[in-house]
Amino acid sequence: MKIYLDNAATTRIHPEVLQAMIPVLENQYGNPSSIHSFGRETRSLIEAARKTVAKLLNVSPAEIFFTSGGTGSQ
């Protein structure tokens, strides 16, 4: 049996998260900071995710920040 103990570096994606992310990764590649339709669509998905996470944590969406990784979160 293999056991992975380096979760500080990376963590396996939960299967439900992976299934939810596949359509986004395949179809929503616009820069969310751009004003074109691709960017606006991506921004909309990010804001919806922010609201979902905020509701789960019982906080304001303004308190939720998404970063590219742990280093950017410091």
**Integer Cα distance of 7 and 4 in angstroms:** 7
**Which residues have a Cβ under 8 Å from the Cβ of 13 and sit 6 or more positions away?**
21
Dig out the tokens for 28 from the structure: 């929503």
31 located within any domain: yes
pTM over 0.85? The answer is no
The total domain count for the chain is: 1
Q: Strands, E, within the chain: which ranges?
A: none
60 located within any domain: yes
**Integer Cα distance of 30 and 36 in angstroms:** 8
47 located within any domain: yes
Q: What is the pLDDT along the chain (74 residues), one digit of tens a residue?
A: 988 887 777 788 899 999 999 999 999 889 999 999 999 999 999 999 999 999 999 999 999 998 877 676 66
Is-contact 51 63, C-beta < 8 A? Answer: no
54 located within any domain: yes
28 located within any domain: yes
11 located within any domain: no
Consecutive H or E run containing 4: none
- The boundaries of the domain holding residue 32 are 24-66
